[in-house]
Protein backbone atom coordinates (compact mmCIF):
# COMPACT_ATOMS: atom_id res chain seq x y z
CA UNK A 1 0.00 0.00 0.00
CA UNK A 2 1.23 3.47 -0.80
CA UNK A 3 -0.32 6.86 -1.16
CA UNK A 4 -1.36 6.12 -4.70
CA UNK A 5 -3.43 3.13 -3.79
CA UNK A 6 -4.65 4.82 -0.63
CA UNK A 7 -5.59 8.18 -1.98
CA UNK A 8 -5.71 8.26 -5.70
CA UNK A 9 -7.36 4.95 -6.43
CA UNK A 10 -10.35 5.41 -4.16
CA UNK A 11 -10.85 8.84 -5.65
CA UNK A 12 -10.88 7.43 -9.14
CA UNK A 13 -13.18 4.65 -8.10
CA UNK A 14 -15.28 7.23 -6.39
CA UNK A 15 -15.55 9.19 -9.58
CA UNK A 16 -16.46 6.15 -11.60
CA UNK A 17 -18.91 4.75 -9.11
CA UNK A 18 -20.71 7.99 -8.62
CA UNK A 19 -21.29 8.71 -12.25
CA UNK A 20 -24.99 9.10 -12.88
CA UNK A 21 -26.89 6.13 -14.13
CA UNK A 22 -27.05 6.35 -17.93
CA UNK A 23 -30.19 8.07 -19.02
CA UNK A 24 -31.17 5.35 -21.42
CA UNK A 25 -31.12 2.68 -18.77
CA UNK A 26 -34.13 0.53 -18.00
CA UNK A 27 -34.79 -0.68 -14.52
CA UNK A 28 -37.05 -3.39 -13.21
CA UNK A 29 -39.69 -2.76 -10.57
CA UNK A 30 -38.89 -5.09 -7.66
CA UNK A 31 -42.57 -5.47 -6.93
CA UNK A 32 -44.35 -5.83 -10.26
CA UNK A 33 -41.38 -6.78 -12.41
CA UNK A 34 -42.33 -4.19 -15.01
CA UNK A 35 -39.48 -2.54 -16.94
CA UNK A 36 -39.34 1.22 -16.70
CA UNK A 37 -37.18 3.92 -18.14
CA UNK A 38 -34.78 5.22 -15.50
CA UNK A 39 -35.39 8.82 -16.52
CA UNK A 40 -39.11 8.44 -15.96
CA UNK A 41 -38.51 7.02 -12.50
CA UNK A 42 -36.12 9.80 -11.63
CA UNK A 43 -38.60 12.42 -12.80
CA UNK A 44 -41.20 10.72 -10.62
CA UNK A 45 -39.16 11.12 -7.39
CA UNK A 46 -37.95 7.54 -7.71
CA UNK A 47 -41.43 6.13 -7.45
CA UNK A 48 -42.12 3.56 -10.16
CA UNK A 49 -45.09 4.73 -12.22
CA UNK A 50 -48.11 2.41 -12.23
CA UNK A 51 -46.91 0.09 -9.42
CA UNK A 52 -46.16 3.07 -7.15
CA UNK A 53 -43.21 1.18 -5.70
CA UNK A 54 -41.09 3.59 -3.67
CA UNK A 55 -37.44 3.01 -4.49
CA UNK A 56 -34.73 3.68 -1.97
CA UNK A 57 -33.05 7.02 -2.51
CA UNK A 58 -29.68 8.33 -1.48
CA UNK A 59 -29.13 10.97 1.17
CA UNK A 60 -28.34 13.81 -1.22
CA UNK A 61 -31.34 13.18 -3.46
CA UNK A 62 -33.57 13.04 -0.42
CA UNK A 63 -32.27 16.35 0.90
CA UNK A 64 -32.68 18.00 -2.51
CA UNK A 65 -36.25 16.76 -2.62
CA UNK A 66 -37.00 18.17 0.82
CA UNK A 67 -35.54 21.65 0.89
CA UNK A 68 -36.83 24.69 -1.01
CA UNK A 69 -35.20 24.90 -4.41
CA UNK A 70 -33.23 21.75 -3.58
CA UNK A 71 -30.79 23.93 -1.65
CA UNK A 72 -29.36 23.12 1.73
CA UNK A 73 -26.29 23.55 3.85
CA UNK A 74 -24.42 20.53 5.17
CA UNK A 75 -23.97 20.34 8.91
CA UNK A 76 -20.41 19.39 9.79
CA UNK A 77 -20.36 16.07 11.60
CA UNK A 78 -17.94 15.14 14.36
CA UNK A 79 -15.19 12.68 13.58
CA UNK A 80 -15.26 9.42 15.43
CA UNK A 81 -12.77 6.66 16.05
CA UNK A 82 -12.59 4.34 13.07
CA UNK A 83 -12.97 0.67 13.83
CA UNK A 84 -12.74 0.98 17.62
CA UNK A 85 -12.86 -2.79 18.18
CA UNK A 86 -10.41 -3.63 15.35
CA UNK A 87 -13.19 -5.85 14.12
CA UNK A 88 -12.82 -8.54 11.56
CA UNK A 89 -15.38 -11.01 10.29
CA UNK A 90 -14.96 -12.44 6.82
CA UNK A 91 -13.37 -9.11 5.97
CA UNK A 92 -11.84 -6.32 7.96
CA UNK A 93 -14.38 -3.73 9.09
CA UNK A 94 -11.92 -1.02 8.09
CA UNK A 95 -12.04 -2.32 4.50
CA UNK A 96 -15.82 -2.54 4.50
CA UNK A 97 -15.94 1.09 5.64
CA UNK A 98 -13.57 2.19 2.92
CA UNK A 99 -15.69 0.46 0.28
CA UNK A 100 -18.89 1.98 1.59
CA UNK A 101 -17.33 5.44 1.46
CA UNK A 102 -16.23 4.89 -2.11
CA UNK A 103 -19.58 3.51 -3.13
CA UNK A 104 -21.70 6.29 -1.64
CA UNK A 105 -19.36 9.26 -1.46
CA UNK A 106 -20.52 9.64 2.14
CA UNK A 107 -18.36 9.53 5.23
CA UNK A 108 -20.90 7.35 7.02
CA UNK A 109 -24.57 6.39 6.93
CA UNK A 110 -26.10 9.72 7.98
CA UNK A 111 -26.05 13.14 6.40
CA UNK A 112 -27.38 16.22 8.18
CA UNK A 113 -28.41 19.52 6.60
CA UNK A 114 -30.20 22.77 7.30
CA UNK A 115 -32.34 24.83 4.96
CA UNK A 116 -35.86 26.02 4.50
CA UNK A 117 -39.02 24.07 3.82
CA UNK A 118 -41.76 26.21 2.34
CA UNK A 119 -39.93 29.13 3.87
CA UNK A 120 -39.63 27.62 7.36
CA UNK A 121 -36.10 26.91 8.60
CA UNK A 122 -35.71 23.21 9.40
CA UNK A 123 -32.96 20.72 10.17
CA UNK A 124 -33.01 17.32 8.52
CA UNK A 125 -31.03 14.12 8.71
CA UNK A 126 -31.08 11.32 6.19
CA UNK A 127 -29.93 7.80 6.69
CA UNK A 128 -28.52 6.27 3.52
CA UNK A 129 -29.24 2.56 3.27
CA UNK A 130 -26.51 2.13 0.67
CA UNK A 131 -23.92 2.86 3.32
CA UNK A 132 -23.58 -0.51 5.06
CA UNK A 133 -27.33 -0.93 5.28
CA UNK A 134 -27.74 2.44 6.97
CA UNK A 135 -26.37 0.80 10.08
CA UNK A 136 -26.14 2.72 13.31
CA UNK A 137 -22.62 2.97 14.62
CA UNK A 138 -20.71 5.70 16.41
CA UNK A 139 -20.57 8.00 13.37
CA UNK A 140 -24.28 7.72 12.63
CA UNK A 141 -25.09 8.15 16.32
CA UNK A 142 -23.00 11.31 16.50
CA UNK A 143 -24.70 12.53 13.31
CA UNK A 144 -28.17 12.13 14.82
CA UNK A 145 -26.98 13.91 17.95
CA UNK A 146 -25.35 16.69 15.90
CA UNK A 147 -28.55 17.05 13.88
CA UNK A 148 -30.72 17.35 16.95
CA UNK A 149 -28.26 19.71 18.60
CA UNK A 150 -28.30 21.89 15.49
CA UNK A 151 -32.08 21.98 15.62
CA UNK A 152 -31.89 22.92 19.30
CA UNK A 153 -29.34 25.67 18.62
CA UNK A 154 -31.27 27.10 15.66
CA UNK A 155 -34.64 26.41 17.28
CA UNK A 156 -36.00 24.58 14.28
CA UNK A 157 -38.03 21.42 13.78
CA UNK A 158 -36.03 18.27 13.14
CA UNK A 159 -36.92 15.86 10.38
CA UNK A 160 -35.38 12.42 10.40
CA UNK A 161 -35.54 10.19 7.33
CA UNK A 162 -34.76 6.80 8.77
CA UNK A 163 -33.55 3.79 6.79
CA UNK A 164 -31.52 1.12 8.47
CA UNK A 165 -30.99 -2.54 9.02
CA UNK A 166 -30.17 -1.76 12.64
CA UNK A 167 -27.04 -1.52 14.74
CA UNK A 168 -23.60 -1.72 13.16
CA UNK A 169 -22.48 -5.03 14.53
CA UNK A 170 -18.84 -4.39 13.72
CA UNK A 171 -18.83 -1.74 16.45
CA UNK A 172 -20.30 -4.12 19.01
CA UNK A 173 -21.55 -2.61 22.22
CA UNK A 174 -20.54 0.88 21.05
CA UNK A 175 -23.28 0.67 18.45
CA UNK A 176 -25.79 -0.42 21.09
CA UNK A 177 -24.83 2.65 23.10
CA UNK A 178 -26.17 4.83 20.29
CA UNK A 179 -29.69 3.94 21.42
CA UNK A 180 -29.50 5.83 24.73
CA UNK A 181 -27.15 8.45 23.26
CA UNK A 182 -29.51 9.49 20.48
CA UNK A 183 -32.41 9.36 22.94
CA UNK A 184 -30.64 11.97 25.07
CA UNK A 185 -30.55 14.25 22.03
CA UNK A 186 -34.26 13.66 21.29
CA UNK A 187 -35.01 14.75 24.84
CA UNK A 188 -33.06 17.98 24.29
CA UNK A 189 -35.22 18.86 21.31
CA UNK A 190 -38.35 18.06 23.29
CA UNK A 191 -37.22 20.43 26.01
CA UNK A 192 -37.10 23.41 23.66
CA UNK A 193 -40.51 22.37 22.30
CA UNK A 194 -39.64 21.97 18.66
CA UNK A 195 -41.31 19.25 16.62
CA UNK A 196 -39.51 16.03 15.79
CA UNK A 197 -40.84 14.35 12.68
CA UNK A 198 -39.71 10.88 11.72
CA UNK A 199 -40.15 9.59 8.21
CA UNK A 200 -39.75 5.83 8.17
CA UNK A 201 -38.52 4.67 4.80
CA UNK A 202 -37.84 1.22 3.44
CA UNK A 203 -36.47 -0.51 5.47
CA UNK A 204 -36.17 0.69 9.06
CA UNK A 205 -35.51 -2.03 11.61
CA UNK A 206 -33.51 -3.02 14.65
CA UNK A 207 -31.80 -0.59 16.98
CA UNK A 208 -32.87 2.40 14.93
CA UNK A 209 -36.56 1.70 15.49
CA UNK A 210 -35.76 0.85 19.09
CA UNK A 211 -34.55 4.40 19.63
CA UNK A 212 -34.82 7.71 17.77
CA UNK A 213 -36.97 6.42 14.90
CA UNK A 214 -39.84 5.57 17.25
CA UNK A 215 -39.58 8.63 19.47
CA UNK A 216 -40.92 11.24 17.08
CA UNK A 217 -43.83 13.55 17.77
CA UNK A 218 -45.18 12.41 14.44
CA UNK A 219 -44.32 9.22 12.58
CA UNK A 220 -44.81 9.21 8.83
CA UNK A 221 -44.06 6.13 6.73
CA UNK A 222 -43.53 5.76 3.01
CA UNK A 223 -45.89 3.26 1.36
CA UNK A 224 -44.83 -0.34 1.60
CA UNK A 225 -41.81 0.39 3.81
CA UNK A 226 -40.65 -2.49 5.99
CA UNK A 227 -40.60 -1.27 9.57
CA UNK A 228 -40.01 -3.34 12.68
CA UNK A 229 -37.77 -4.32 15.53
CA UNK A 230 -36.78 -7.86 14.62
CA UNK A 231 -36.26 -8.67 10.96
CA UNK A 232 -38.82 -10.95 9.30
CA UNK A 233 -36.24 -13.74 8.89
CA UNK A 234 -35.40 -13.77 12.60
CA UNK A 235 -39.08 -13.90 13.52
CA UNK A 236 -39.78 -16.69 11.08
CA UNK A 237 -36.89 -18.69 12.49
CA UNK A 238 -38.07 -18.12 16.06
CA UNK A 239 -41.71 -18.98 15.64
CA UNK A 240 -41.31 -21.35 12.67
CA UNK A 241 -44.38 -20.02 10.95
CA UNK A 242 -45.02 -18.08 7.78
CA UNK A 243 -45.58 -14.42 8.47
CA UNK A 244 -48.91 -12.85 7.56
CA UNK A 245 -49.27 -10.87 4.35
CA UNK A 246 -48.26 -7.23 4.76
CA UNK A 247 -46.62 -7.93 8.15
CA UNK A 248 -44.30 -5.11 9.28
CA UNK A 249 -45.20 -2.94 6.29
CA UNK A 250 -45.97 0.75 6.67
CA UNK A 251 -49.73 0.20 6.35
CA UNK A 252 -49.63 -2.56 8.98
CA UNK A 253 -47.87 -0.25 11.41
CA UNK A 254 -50.42 2.48 10.78
CA UNK A 255 -53.25 0.02 11.42
CA UNK A 256 -51.53 -1.04 14.65
CA UNK A 257 -51.03 2.47 15.96
CA UNK A 258 -47.27 2.83 15.48
CA UNK A 259 -47.25 5.38 12.67
CA UNK A 260 -49.57 8.30 12.17
CA UNK A 261 -49.85 8.10 8.42
CA UNK A 262 -48.56 6.50 5.28
CA UNK A 263 -47.73 9.21 2.79
CA UNK A 264 -46.91 8.91 -0.90
CA UNK A 265 -43.56 10.45 -1.73
CA UNK A 266 -45.25 13.01 -3.96
CA UNK A 267 -47.19 14.37 -0.99
CA UNK A 268 -44.45 13.95 1.60
CA UNK A 269 -42.84 17.36 1.38
CA UNK A 270 -46.18 19.17 1.67
CA UNK A 271 -47.31 17.11 4.65
CA UNK A 272 -44.05 17.66 6.53
CA UNK A 273 -44.10 21.38 5.77
CA UNK A 274 -47.68 21.80 6.99
CA UNK A 275 -47.05 19.78 10.12
CA UNK A 276 -43.98 21.83 11.00
CA UNK A 277 -45.91 25.03 10.46
CA UNK A 278 -48.92 23.99 12.51
CA UNK A 279 -46.84 22.60 15.36
CA UNK A 280 -44.61 25.68 15.55
CA UNK A 281 -47.65 27.96 15.12
CA UNK A 282 -46.20 29.54 12.00
CA UNK A 283 -48.73 31.11 9.63
CA UNK A 284 -50.15 28.78 7.01
CA UNK A 285 -48.51 28.32 3.64
CA UNK A 286 -50.89 28.09 0.67
CA UNK A 287 -51.83 24.43 1.15
CA UNK A 288 -53.39 23.30 4.41
CA UNK A 289 -52.75 20.06 6.20
CA UNK A 290 -56.46 19.21 6.15
CA UNK A 291 -56.49 19.25 2.38
CA UNK A 292 -53.41 17.09 2.19
CA UNK A 293 -54.75 14.55 4.62
CA UNK A 294 -58.01 14.44 2.70
CA UNK A 295 -56.06 13.44 -0.36
CA UNK A 296 -54.45 10.48 1.35
CA UNK A 297 -55.71 7.00 0.53
CA UNK A 298 -58.27 5.73 3.02
CA UNK A 299 -56.97 3.42 5.77
CA UNK A 300 -57.54 -0.26 5.17
CA UNK A 301 -60.55 -1.87 6.84
CA UNK A 302 -59.51 -3.69 9.99
Partner 1 sequence: MRTYLDFEKPVAELEAKVEELRAMQSGENPVAIEEDISRLETKAAVALRDLYSSLTPWQKTQVARHPQRPHCLDYVAGLITDFVSLQGDRKFGDDDAVVGGFGRFRGASVCVIGQEKGSTTEGRLKHNFGMAKPEGYRKAVRLMEMADRFSIPVIALVDTAGAYPGIGAEERGQAEAIARSTDACLNLSVPNVAVILGEGGSGGAIAIATASRVLMLEHAIYSVISPEGAASILWHDSTKAQEAATNMKITAEDLAKYNIIDQIITEPIGGAHRNPPAAIVSTGEAIANALAEFDGLSPAAIRQQRRQKFLAIGRNIG
Nearer to partner 1, 47 or 109 (CB): 109
Closest CA to 182 of 151, 152, 206, 215: 215
Nearer to partner 1, 213 or 276 (CB): 213
Q: At its nearest, how many Å lie between partner 1 and the CB of residue 169?
A: 6
Select from 33, 69, 257, 283 the one that contacts partner 1 (CB under 8 A): 257
Whether the Cβ atoms of residue 97 and residue 82 lie closer than 8 Å to each other: yes
Which run of H or E residues covers position 63?
helix 59-66
Which run of H or E residues covers position 41?
helix 38-43
Pure H helices in 210-302? 232-239, 250-255, 265-279, 289-294
DSSP state for residue 300 in the 8-state scheme: P
Q: Does 256 bind partner 1 (CB under 8 A)?
A: yes
Number of residues that bind partner 1 (CB under 8 A): 53
Select from 94, 176, 279, 289 the one that contacts partner 1 (CB under 8 A): 176
Scanning 115-123, 155-163, 232-240, 289-297 for contacts with partner 1 by CB under 8 A, the matching segment is 232-240
Select from 43, 50, 192, 234 the one that contacts partner 1 (CB under 8 A): 234
Distances (CA, A) of 106 to 42, 97, 142, 145, 259: 21, 10, 15, 18, 29
CA distance 59 to 192: 27
Whether the Cβ atoms of residue 257 and residue 275 lie closer than 8 Å to each other: no
Nearer to partner 1, 190 or 269 (CB): 190
Nearer to partner 1, 115 or 137 (CB): 137
Closest CA to 297 of 218, 224, 189, 210: 224
CA distance 104 to 128: 9
SS3 (DSSP) at 127: strand
Q: Does 145 bind partner 1 (CB under 8 A)?
A: yes
Q: At its nearest, how many Å lie between partner 1 and the CB of residue 294?
A: 27
Q: At its nearest, how many Å lie between partner 1 and the CB of residue 142?
A: 8
Select from 126, 174, 225, 273 the one that contacts partner 1 (CB under 8 A): 174
Q: Does 153 bind partner 1 (CB under 8 A)?
A: no
Q: Does 212 bind partner 1 (CB under 8 A)?
A: yes
CA distance 98 to 104: 10
Per-residue x/- mask for partner 1, residues 72 to 111, rule CB under 8 A?
A: --------xx--xx-xxxx---------------------
Q: Does 184 bind partner 1 (CB under 8 A)?
A: yes
Distances (CA, A) of 233 to 60, 228, 229, 239, 289: 30, 12, 12, 10, 38
Select from 66, 159, 167, 220 the one that contacts partner 1 (CB under 8 A): 167
Residues that bind partner 1 (CB under 8 A): 80-81, 84-85, 87-90, 138, 141, 145, 167, 169-177, 179-181, 183-184, 186-187, 205-207, 209-215, 228-230, 234-235, 238-239, 241, 243-244, 247-248, 256-258
Amino acid sequence: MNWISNVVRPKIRNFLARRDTPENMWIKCPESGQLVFYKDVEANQFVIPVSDYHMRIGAETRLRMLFDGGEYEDVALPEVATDPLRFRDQRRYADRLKDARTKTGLQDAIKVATGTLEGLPVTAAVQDFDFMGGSLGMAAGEAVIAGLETAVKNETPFIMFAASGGARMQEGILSLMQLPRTTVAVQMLREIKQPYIVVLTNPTTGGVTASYAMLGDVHIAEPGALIGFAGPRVIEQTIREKLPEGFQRAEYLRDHGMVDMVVHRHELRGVIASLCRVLTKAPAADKTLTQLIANLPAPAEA
